[in-house]
């Protein structure tokens, strides 16, 4: 059956609008979240996912790439970035500005879309740098009962749908062989994402974006986890500087670590 | 719900947890080549903090499971060890292991699954959560109650306290190893119960692995860590400068993302939000500026030492002892002072 699989992969790339990685976050006054009046950008692992999909398409024009985001109105900016990087079209699953959509709900939404649109390859980031949960991709693979290739640092998809992937594991690397349909999650070293060029940003404005609500897909996004509080971590005080290596050694001895 | 109520009635009198509450935890005892991953012992400690009955589960190929079960039986605080063996379980292939856990958890009336936040659990647990359609609670640093946990978010720059609702019938939890002590491997005498292997028809096949062999202590659990950054300038320097210091201290070697990306160090050595989280007695950051993503992986170290040429580097804001100096002069001098080569 795999010999007859068309060369074309119908790729879905979930992207998340997250607080920019370089922003030093502040705890919100109500102690239930962080100050959101800051710069946002596409989650870095999702940029890598987008880049990988685009590189696949550059090798074989028959592939189709859809970017999808679950987020508030402003998340459209993240989709525009994805389109400017090379996605063919985009899906915006719209939620309210204050809605928290947990990984399970996101995975349930993406599952419905993948089934609706006949996607056979989902490339997601390994974790979002805001909630740091790292669960959406794996949950999605479980929900769809597809194989998974998590923390990928090298991905090769053959024309017949066979996949070879190198994964980052504790202590080194692991090589797996699997098949489409597949969920891949990206690790940092999979590739270096491109910056969208100005002409591509202009072209992206003409690309199609579909807007849909979770309820249209029959997905309940009510959180299952209640936020009790968000606090600052215990603060570390720098202990000051020493002038010489001898002084440094004396401090280490004083602390009893040597 | 029904199953849990039955369980509560049947066993409530045996446990002295808070009245009306009951937890039955399962700890994923990760093994490799028949040897338990010590990090799993921290997941046992987290399970103990929840209270109630605690069992462990060992999964792998027959030969590995037989060995690892012998080791697991002795872990203090476990009442039972479930074991399941199949060639399909070798190398922790998630597509095969997750369905087994998805069967065991309801069958054995488990309310909480704990595992150390390792690469294997980070791969298996979300798939399992998908199969059971429940949330995952990742990388917890504290247990505040049977359903209330703390975990770091935003690269450790905020601590979230969350409460899981009844909508999540099973709590799927990974544990930050550096935040919990290890349970003792002696003193326990758990009964062993074999669980039939589940069907493993996934197309995913393990091909090979490439593990970085080192004579040094394991990075995640080392008492001392020496880490290098971009300022080392080359792989050759990285080894030439850091290895003698690591040897003199008996320390593990770590690296910043910049050093890994530049090819100076293997990526299994990366410390930070996307690499390993360490909390040793002593962390020496050499030529590392201290980006928030790096600090996320080491700021719970007991004593942080920074050696950096740039007096304004952010690393000095968290370092207990800072030395503004050229690392190529200071580190060899430090090695000499420590009596190394």
Cα separation, A211 vs A228, in Å, equals 32
**Least confident piece of the model among A100-109, A213-222, A237-246, B188-197:** A237-246
Interface A:B, Cβ pairs < 8 A = 258
- Residue to mutate among B154, B173, B340, with most A CBs inside 10 A, is B154
Cα separation, B84 vs A22, in Å, equals 45
Report whether A75 contacts A69 (CB < 8 A).
Answer: yes
Question: Cβ neighbours of residue A159 under 8 Å, at least 6 residues apart?
Answer: A7
Calculate mean pLDDT across residues B43-48: 98
Question: In this complex, do A104 and B163 lie within 8 Å of one another by their Cβ atoms?
Answer: no
Cα separation, B294 vs B306, in Å, equals 13
- Give the per-residue pLDDT at B341: 53
Cα separation, B156 vs A236, in Å, equals 13
Length of chain A: 258
Cα separation, A246 vs A235, in Å, equals 28
pLDDT value at A3 more than 70 = no
Which uninterrupted H or E stretch holds A226?
strand A225-231
Chain B CB within 8 Å of residue A138 CB: yes
Q: Is B216 annotated as ligand-binding?
A: no
Q: Is B136 annotated as ligand-binding?
A: no
> What confidence category does residue B133 fall into, taking pLDDT thresholds of 50, 70 and 90?
very high
Question: In this complex, do B119 and A169 lie within 8 Å of one another by their Cβ atoms?
Answer: yes
CATH architecture of the domain B224-338 equals 3-Layer(aba) Sandwich (3.40)
- Give the per-residue pLDDT at B340: 66
Strand stretches in A15-161, DSSP E: 17-19, 40-42, 64-71, 89-94, 121-125, 148-157
Calculate mean pLDDT across residues A147-153: 98
Two domains, one topology: B24-194 and B224-338: yes
Question: In this complex, do B157 and A240 lie within 8 Å of one another by their Cβ atoms?
Answer: no
ipTM of the complex: 0.95
Residues of A in contact with B210 (CB under 8 A): 172-175
User: Which residue, chain included where needed, has tokens 């996307």?
Assistant: B274
Shortest distance, CA B191 to any CA of chain A (angstroms)? 30
Domains and CATH numbers, chain A: 10-228 (3.40.50.620)
CB nearest to A170's CB, from B98, B119, B148: B119
Q: Is B287 annotated as ligand-binding?
A: yes
Shortest distance, CA B123 to any CA of chain A (angstroms)? 6
- Give the per-residue pLDDT at B7: 43
CB nearest to B202's CB, from A19, A104, A147: A147
Calculate mean pLDDT across residues A22-41: 96
pLDDT value at B5 more than 80 = no
Chain B CB within 8 Å of residue A20 CB: no
Summarize pLDDT for A71-94 with one digit per residue, the tens.
999 999 999 999 999 999 999 999
- Give the per-residue pLDDT at B10: 39
Question: In this complex, do B203 and A141 lie within 8 Å of one another by their Cβ atoms?
Answer: no
pLDDT value at B146 more than 70 = yes
SS (H, E, C) chain B: CHHHHHHHHHHHHHCCCCCCCCCEEEEECCEECCEECCCHHHHHHHHHHHCCEEEEEEEECHHHHHHHHHHHCCCCCCCEEEEEECHHHHHHCHHHHHHHHHHHHHHCCCCEEEEECCHHHHHHHHHHHHHHCCCEEEEECEEEECCEEEEEECCCCEEEEEEECCCCCCEEEEECHHHCCCCCCCCCCCEEEECCCCCCCCCCEEEEEEECCCCCCCHHHCCEEEEECHHHCCHHHHHHHHHHHHHHHCCEEEECHHHHHCCCCCHHHEECCCCECCCCCEEEEECCCCCHHHHCCCCCCCEEEEEECCCCCCHHHHCCEEEECCHHHHHHHHHHHCCCC
CA angle B25, B30, B33 (to 5 degrees): 150
Q: Indicate the average pLDDT of chain A.
A: 95
Calculate mean pLDDT across residues B66-78: 97
Closest CA to A9 of A43, A53, A71, A51: A53
Out of 3.30.465.10, 3.40.50.620, 3.30.230.70, 3.40.50.2000, select the CATH number for domain B24-194.
3.40.50.620
Summarize pLDDT for B168-226 with one digit per residue, the tens.
999 999 999 999 999 999 999 999 999 999 988 899 999 999 998 888 999 988 999 99
pLDDT value at A7 more than 50 = yes
Edge-to-edge strand ranges of the sheet holding A241-242? A241-242, B321-324, B303-308, B282-286, B224-228, B252-255
> What confidence category does residue A6 fall into, taking pLDDT thresholds of 50, 70 and 90?
low
CB nearest to B249's CB, from A25, A173, A258: A258
Residues of B in contact with A246 (CB under 8 A): 337
Cα separation, B112 vs B81, in Å, equals 15
What does residue A224 show for φ and ψ, rounded to 5 degrees?
A: -100, -15
Number of helices (H), then strands (E), in chain A: 6, 13
Summarize pLDDT for A177-205 with one digit per residue, the tens.
999 999 999 999 999 999 999 999 999 99
What does residue B124 show for φ and ψ, rounded to 5 degrees?
A: -80, -45
Give the residues across from A69 on adjacent strands.
Answer: A92
Domain ranges in chain B are 24-194, 224-338
pLDDT value at B20 more than 60 = no
Q: Indicate the average pLDDT of chain B.
A: 93
Length of chain B: 341
- Give the per-residue pLDDT at B19: 41
Chain B CB within 8 Å of residue A175 CB: yes
Calculate mean pLDDT across residues A134-154: 98
Q: How far is CA A66 from the centre of its chain?
A: 14
> What confidence category does residue A132 fall into, taking pLDDT thresholds of 50, 70 and 90?
very high
Calculate mean pLDDT across residues B335-340: 89
Cα separation, B300 vs B313, in Å, equals 19
Shortest distance, CA A162 to any CA of chain B (angstroms)? 10
Shortest distance, CA A244 to any CA of chain B (angstroms)? 7
Question: In this complex, do A135 and B325 lie within 8 Å of one another by their Cβ atoms?
Answer: no
User: Which residue, chain included where needed, has tokens 């090589």?
Assistant: A175
- Give the per-residue pLDDT at B2: 43
List the single residue in B with minimal CA-CA distance to A237. Answer: B318
The pTM for the full model equals 0.93
Shortest distance, CA B207 to any CA of chain A (angstroms)? 5
Q: How far is CA A241 from the centre of its chain?
A: 39
- Give the per-residue pLDDT at B201: 85
Calculate mean pLDDT across residues A50-67: 96
- In chain B the first and final C-alpha atoms are separated, in Å, by 64
CB nearest to A132's CB, from B129, B152, B268: B152
Question: In this complex, do B321 and A127 lie within 8 Å of one another by their Cβ atoms?
Answer: no
Kindly report the number of other CB atoms within 10 A of residue A237's CB atom: 8
pLDDT value at A107 more than 60 = yes
pLDDT value at A60 more than 50 = yes
Calculate mean pLDDT across residues B308-315: 96
> What confidence category does residue A240 fall into, taking pLDDT thresholds of 50, 70 and 90?
confident
Chain B CB within 8 Å of residue A254 CB: no
Tokens of B167: 């909508």
Residues of A in contact with B142 (CB under 8 A): none
Shortest distance, CA A247 to any CA of chain B (angstroms)? 9
Q: Is B150 annotated as ligand-binding?
A: no
List the single residue in A with minimal CA-CA distance to B320. Answer: A239
- In chain A the first and final C-alpha atoms are separated, in Å, by 64
Asked whether the CA dihedral B41, B43, B39, B295 is positive or negative, the reply is negative
CB nearest to A238's CB, from B136, B318, B330: B318
CB nearest to A188's CB, from B95, B210, B274: B274
């Amino acid at each position: 059956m795999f010999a007859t699989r068309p060369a074309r992969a119908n790729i879905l790339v979930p992207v998340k609008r997250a607080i920019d990685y370089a922003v030093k976050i502040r705890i919100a006054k109500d102690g239930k979240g962080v100050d959101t009046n800051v710069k946002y950008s596409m989650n870095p692992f999702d940029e890598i996912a987008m880049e990988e999909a685009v590189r696949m398409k550059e090798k074989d024009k028959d592939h189709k790439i859809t970017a999808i985001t679950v987020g508030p109105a402003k998340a459209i900016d993240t989709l525009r970035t994805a389109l400017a990087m090379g996605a063919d079209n985009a899906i915006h699953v719209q939620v309210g500005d204050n809605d928290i959509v947990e990984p399970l709900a996101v995975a349930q939404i993406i599952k419905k879309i993948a089934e609706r649109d006949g996607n056979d390859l989902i490339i997601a980031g390994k974790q979002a740098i805001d909630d740091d949960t790292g669960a959406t991709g794996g949950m999605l693979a479980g929900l769809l009962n597809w194989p998974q290739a998590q923390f990928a640092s090298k991905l090769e998809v053959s024309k017949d749908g066979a996949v070879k992937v190198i994964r980052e594991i504790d202590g080194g690397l692991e090589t797996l062989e699997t098949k489409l349909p597949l969920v891949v999650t990206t690790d940092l070293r999979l590739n270096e994402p491109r910056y969208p060029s100005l002409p591509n940003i202009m072209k992206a404005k003409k690309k199609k974006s579909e807007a849909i609500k979770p309820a249209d897909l029959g997905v309940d996004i009510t959180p299952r986890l209640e936020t009790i509080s968000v606090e600052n971590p215990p603060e570390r005080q720098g202990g000051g500087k020493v002038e010489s290596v001898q002084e440094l050694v004396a401090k280490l001895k004083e602390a009893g670590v040597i | 719900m029904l199953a849990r109520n039955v369980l509560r009635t049947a066993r409530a009198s045996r446990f002295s947890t808070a009245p009306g509450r009951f937890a039955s935890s399962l700890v994923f005892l990760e093994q490799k080549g028949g040897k338990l991953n010590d990090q799993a012992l921290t997941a046992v400690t987290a399970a103990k903090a929840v209270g109630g009955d605690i069992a462990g589960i060992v999964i792998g190929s027959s030969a590995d499971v037989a060995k690892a079960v012998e080791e697991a039986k002795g872990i203090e605080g476990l009442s039972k060890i479930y074991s399941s063996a199949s060639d399909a379980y070798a190398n922790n292939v998630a597509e095969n292991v997750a369905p087994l856990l998805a069967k065991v958890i309801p069958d054995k009336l488990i309310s909480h699954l704990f595992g150390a936040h390792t690469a294997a659990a980070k791969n298996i647990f979300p798939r399992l959560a998908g199969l059971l359609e429940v949330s995952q609670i990742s990388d917890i640093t504290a247990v505040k109650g049977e359903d209330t946990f703390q975990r770091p978010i935003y690269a450790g720059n905020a601590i979230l306290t969350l409460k899981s609702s009844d909508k999540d019938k099973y709590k799927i939890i990974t544990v930050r190893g550096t935040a919990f002590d290890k349970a003792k491997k002696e003193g326990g005498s758990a009964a062993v119960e074999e669980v039939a292997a589940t069907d493993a028809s996934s197309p995913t096949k393990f091909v090979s692995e490439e593990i970085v062999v080192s004579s040094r202590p394991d990075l995640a659990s080392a008492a001392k860590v020496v880490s290098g950054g971009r300022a080392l300038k080359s792989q050759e320097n990285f080894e030439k400068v850091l290895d003698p210091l690591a040897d003199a201290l008996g320390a593990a070697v770590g690296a910043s993302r910049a050093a890994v990306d530049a090819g100076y160090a293997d990526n299994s050595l990366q410390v930070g939000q996307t690499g390993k989280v360490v909390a040793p007695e002593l962390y020496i950051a050499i030529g590392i500026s201290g980006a928030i993503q790096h600090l996320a992986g080491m700021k719970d170290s007991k004593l942080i030492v920074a050696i950096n040429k740039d007096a304004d580097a952010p690393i000095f804001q968290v370092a207990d002892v800072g030395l503004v100096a050229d690392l190529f002069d200071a580190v060899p001098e430090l090695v000499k002072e420590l009596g190394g080569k």
